[in-house]
Amino acid sequence: MRLDDRRMRRQGRRMLRTSRGGSRIVAACLTAGVSCIAAHGADRVTIAAGGVVLPDGSIGGASTVVVEGGRFREISAAASAPAADGVVNHSGAVLCPGLIDARSALGVASLGRHVERSVAIAPELSLREAIDVRHRDFASALRTGVTAALIVPAGNNVVGGAAQAVRIGAGGEAEWLREDGPLVMTLGQSVLEFDREPTSRIGAVTLLESALSQGKRGEGPARMRAAARGQLDVLMMCEAAEDLAAAARLLGGAPIKARLAYTPTDVEAESAWMSSFEGPVVLDTMTFATTPRVLRTAGLLAAGGKEVVFAGALPYAPADSLRISAALAVRYGLDASAARRAITINPAKVAGVAERVGSIEKGKDADFVVFSGDPLRLESRVLEVYVKGVKVYDAALQTE
Amino acid sequence: MTFKQLRRALRLRRETNSRSGRLPTPYCFVILLIVASTTVPVQGQLFGLGGGETIEHARILTGDGRVIEKGGISIRGDRIGDVGADVKAGILGKSFDATGKTVTPGFIDVYSGLGIISGGGAANALSKAADGWDAYAADVFQDALRNGVTTVYVAPRGPVGVLGTSAIFSLGRPESGRAGSAIKEDVALHVNLGSGQSALARINTFNNLRRQLREALEYRKSLEDYKADLEEYEKKIKERAEKKAKEEAEKAKSGGEKKEADPKPPDKKDEKPAEPKPDAPKPEGPRPGPRPGPPRPSPGGADGATGASEDTAGEAPSDDPADLFRSLMSGDEAMFADAPPAPGAAGDAKKEEEIKKPAEPKPDRGKEVLLKALDRKLPVRIEAHRSEDILNALELAQEFNLDLILEGATEAYLVADEIAKAKAPVVLGPAQRPELRADNEFRRHVATSAARLSKVGVRWAVGSGGGVQESRFVLANAQLTAGALEESGASPLELVTTRAARLLGLEGAGRVARGARADLVIWSGDPHDPSSVVERVYAGGKVVYEVKADK
């Protein structure tokens, strides 16, 4: 008895000790990689790489990429890079556009509730008011090659307000990539509450319908008017097939510009509704636990001519969730190029920032990742991350 | 023509063996020499014998790091017959042309929940993963095979504490319903220290575990004591019997020739030849001469033979001193039936001190399982995620001399030196753990844990973590883990084949080599490339998956 008592106390002490020590080590791990980044003053950087992920998602051969003024200046297929000063040589590596999470909660996850529960139609809300731009989750995401994200409000409102597209810059600090929007709407179980409207699926659809028709008539909040007239893009999040059917009816067709976030369960039956939405469909994060049926949907959609996007769901999802989703979908029939597009240029389109980021093209912002190999091969590591032409992460400098 | 030659050769060999002597001896000898000089595999190769298939022209990743750019693999039964650049199907053999394709060993998941029937309540040392495994889940298995997984190590499910023993299964296609089969049972004892619980609950779990192990040791002690007592007891009984026998013999000597003159009993059916004493009170059978003890109401005597025998046998225990003694001795009648002097001795037993038979401890199979673990005959896999739980596990292993394997071990990198000192291997959980935001026992998961363990010389492997679906992606999991290794300590393929087999003690599995288990996967390209598709899978030499038949 006394022995056990003593043991317990000893254990308690040890527990305290290790947890304190442990958190210190973890904190060091988290900060080291990002904080020791030298803000390169150099305006012009030339990088020679073994391969480059091209805008169509395929991997081009050995190339030289010139970055100037924070943008891609020149991309040339050069078998060997000129061995000159200021040339960064990554002969075995693959240059990939910075990965983009199109359905993220980075920077808002730790702040508690960030959706307004009392009202269902809240287009006037802007999620940016709730984002902690210096949250350490941004730095963590950056280390896995994520340079931009569309931070969306949780789906508890039928109209949840404006999402915020951000870029993760030096020091893991977020900056706005876009002034306003897209406007996020949701249909599904999660918008229903017992103490405010809507309390049923029918109620939710009716509320959305009346808000939209109000907007079309030029009434109601500004964002709703803009969305109804096609001046502001919409991200529609649907949970089940019946939500998808209703959303397709309400938002399908001009002038509304709506994109869809949805996990198809029966692609053949649902693809007709999905075609009412323009652009790529945002699919849920794929994990090792995702059933084969869902894993196959990306390939089936792509075969039907629909582009796809994998939500990263950071920070709730595991690190590397974007690459894991893409790699697993490829195992289940998605074309490799389409899979690379699904985590780079396509999410940029969903976030409405594709003219600036999402691909390695002349004139675009030089946000890119140096992977040790094909980003779809999961053993490939992030070697370096550049944002606006500046190296913001270097794995070699990361201490244990 | 070749077939004829072969038959002739065989006939010749048979003839030489039977020494028919039809052929001249030197000729026989030469043929014998030729046949004998070609080894069995070479003969098989030449003629394509052995029944199995031969995979030809394949790029072979053997699993231990070697690559054969273009070679063949022959299958003999459930084993690999031969591997090499020059292995061909032969003229009569069946072949599979794998030009442009890559062959790997079947992948092994060292910690899986595939096929386990979920919803287990309480668990104990007697719980077996093999009992809770759904061998009929063909669709789940086909999906694992589609990803190259042929073998899974399945741990028993349960809350915390001792969970039971694990088993290793081979996945296949349905054969009379069952699609999978156990290749090894009771591989290790599983224990969960419950790192997800509160601190006090964890301490409680740990102390319970320690108490259980102590109790198992006490149980053994009581068994040993019983054995010693029993021996002592038997010795005493024997001594007494000998003493009696001696006395009897002396009595007989002085009593004259009466014994010799005694007639044999007429009915030998129930008689023990070792009990020929005339004065022994025999309950069975009528016996001439006066009987000791009170008079019986039996109609016995010399006339009603069978009826009397049954009657007296039925009543005997009530008044026969021999039976009284027997019933006193609590069972074990067989032993006393054989003890020759028992009936004779019984008469005097009351006078002497009573010899007490020791009480046998109640058998406890659960404790016997724990004892196997305490004898290091059963490895103990302890799931612990927090560093303090890992330290506890190490302490326990040292105290009870357990063959410890750490399971999960999320914070192993924080106590890597201690693990190295204890020489305990680690089975890391899935690399795909929440890293950015988690407030549970996985919150300190880092991708670089394996690298740290490698650095201090800890043997580690990576498992899929016990989920039902996750086993499909053992290679992806290993790829993620290997990607975090700075100096690339292990190739992902090696992790899920050779290294996995070594950890599980599956010698002759997880590699493409002569004599190894014929678990083979034929890929359209390199398995690390997610675009590669599994085209065919062999498990135990049988084709269990074919992409052509898949959808």
The CATH number of the domain holding residue B523 is 2.30.40.10
Number of folded domains in chain B?
A: 3
The mean pLDDT value for A295-306 works out to: 91
Q: What pLDDT is stored for residue A350 in this prediction?
A: 94
Residue of A18, A94, A137, A288 to mutate, interface with B, max B Cβ within 10 Å: A288
Give B 178-237 residues with CB within 8 A of chain A: 199, 203, 206-207
Domain match, B127 and B101 both: no
Residue type, A35: S
| pLDDT-wise least confident of A295-309, B43-57, B66-80 | B43-57
The mean pLDDT value for A313-340 works out to: 92
Handedness of CA A109, A112, A117, A119 (dihedral sign): negative
For residue A109, give the nearest of B437, B451, B472 by CB distance: B437
The tally of CA atoms less than 13 A away on the side-chain side of residue A33 is: 25
Q: Residue A157, by phi and psi: left (phi above 0), alpha (psi -120 to 50) or beta? A: beta
Q: How far apart, in whole angstroms, are the C-alpha atoms of residue B76 and residue B43?
A: 13
A-chain residues near B414 (CB < 8 A): 18, 21-22, 25
pLDDT surpasses 90 at B427? yes
Q: What pLDDT is stored for residue B127 in this prediction?
A: 85
* Residue reference for tokens 């979908």: A329
Report the residue of chain B nearest A141, measured CA to CA.
B436
pLDDT surpasses 60 at B63? yes
For residue B533, the distance in angstroms to the closest alpha carbon of chain A comes to 7
Residue B167 phi, psi dihedral angles, 5° rounding: -150, 160
Of B507, B466, B224, B460, which Cα lies nearest the Cα of B360? B224
Q: What pLDDT is stored for residue B11 in this prediction?
A: 60
Q: The tokens of B490 are what?
A: 């292990």
Coil vs helix vs strand at A176:
strand
| Contact status, residue A258 vs residue A183, Cβ threshold 8 Å | no
A4 touches chain B (CB under 8 A): yes
Distance of CA A283 to the CA centre of its chain: 11
**What ipTM is given for this predicted complex?**
0.81
Average pLDDT of chain B to the nearest whole number: 78
Name the more confident of B237 and B335. B237
Coil vs helix vs strand at A235:
strand
B400 touches chain A (CB under 8 A): no
Domain match, B447 and B374 both: yes
A-chain residues near B415 (CB < 8 A): 18
pLDDT in tens, B192-246: 998 888 889 999 999 999 999 999 999 999 999 999 999 999 999 999 999 999 9
The mean pLDDT value for A362-367 works out to: 95
pLDDT in tens, A66-99: 999 999 998 988 755 555 666 788 888 999 999 9
> B266 lies in a domain?
no
The CATH architecture to which A44-98+362-397 belongs is: Roll (2.30)
B-chain residues near A317 (CB < 8 A): 434, 436
pLDDT surpasses 70 at B312? no
Domain match, B390 and B430 both: yes
Domain match, B505 and B518 both: no
Model confidence at B65, in pLDDT bands (50, 70, 90)? confident
A322 touches chain B (CB under 8 A): no
The mean pLDDT value for B463-485 works out to: 84
pLDDT surpasses 60 at A35? no
pLDDT in tens, A44-64: 889 999 999 999 999 998 999
Q: What pLDDT is stored for residue B129 in this prediction?
A: 86
Model confidence at A111, in pLDDT bands (50, 70, 90)? low
**Which residues are CB-neighbours of B54 under 8 A, at least 6 positions away?**
B48, B72, B73, B74, B75, B87, B88, B89, B90, B93, B94, B95, B96
Q: What pLDDT is stored for residue B311 in this prediction?
A: 41
Please count the helices (runs of H) and the strands (runs of E) in chain A: 10, 18
Q: What pLDDT is stored for residue A117 in this prediction?
A: 79
**Cβ-based contacts under 8 A for chains A and B:** 122
Counting residues of chain B whose pLDDT is more than 70, the rounded percentage is: 69
Give A 277-296 residues with CB within 8 A of chain B: 287-292
pLDDT surpasses 60 at A355? yes
| pLDDT-wise least confident of B53-57, B299-303, B348-352, B545-549 | B299-303
Q: What pLDDT is stored for residue B299 in this prediction?
A: 42
Of B277, B279, B297, which Cα lies nearest the Cα of B289? B279
Q: What pLDDT is stored for residue A170 in this prediction?
A: 86
B447 touches chain A (CB under 8 A): yes
Average pLDDT of chain A to the nearest whole number: 84
Report the residue of chain A nearest B439, measured CA to CA.
A316
> B301 lies in a domain?
no
pLDDT surpasses 90 at B294? no
For residue A140, give the nearest of B199, B415, B435 by CB distance: B435
pLDDT surpasses 60 at B248? yes
Domain match, B126 and B59 both: no
Residue type, A168: I
Whether residues A378 and B480 touch (CB distance < 8 A) is answered with yes
| Contact status, residue A142 vs residue A385, Cβ threshold 8 Å | yes
Q: What pLDDT is stored for residue A116 in this prediction?
A: 76
Q: How far apart, in whole angstroms, are the C-alpha atoms of residue B372 and residue B369?
A: 5
pLDDT surpasses 90 at A374? yes
> B471 lies in a domain?
yes
Counting residues of chain B whose pLDDT is more than 90, the rounded percentage is: 44
Whether residues B435 and A291 touch (CB distance < 8 A) is answered with no
Residue of B146, B197, B436 to mutate, interface with A, max A Cβ within 10 Å: B436
The mean pLDDT value for A108-131 works out to: 81
Name the more confident of A111 and B233. B233
Domain match, B120 and B193 both: yes
pLDDT in tens, A157-183: 999 999 999 999 988 899 999 988 799
For the A99-351 domain, the top CATH level (class) is alpha beta
> B540 lies in a domain?
yes
Name the more confident of B286 and B393. B393
Coil vs helix vs strand at A47:
strand
Domain match, B465 and B374 both: yes
pLDDT surpasses 90 at B270? no
pLDDT surpasses 80 at B440? no
Q: Which residues pair with B536 in a beta bridge?
A: B522, B546
| Contact status, residue A42 vs residue A86, Cβ threshold 8 Å | yes
> B433 lies in a domain?
yes
> B306 lies in a domain?
no
Domain match, B432 and B542 both: no
Q: What pLDDT is stored for residue B538 in this prediction?
A: 94
Q: What pLDDT is stored for residue A119 in this prediction?
A: 86
> B120 lies in a domain?
yes
pLDDT in tens, A243-267: 999 999 998 777 888 888 888 888 8
Model confidence at B384, in pLDDT bands (50, 70, 90)? very high
Domain hosting B123: range is 108-201+366-509
| pLDDT-wise least confident of A233-242, A261-270, B10-19 | B10-19
Q: What pLDDT is stored for residue B13 in this prediction?
A: 54
Domain match, B154 and B31 both: no
Q: How far apart, in whole angstroms, are the C-alpha atoms of residue A330 and residue A322?
A: 12
* Residue reference for tokens 């074309």: A335
| pLDDT-wise least confident of A198-212, B30-44, B259-273, B431-445 | B259-273
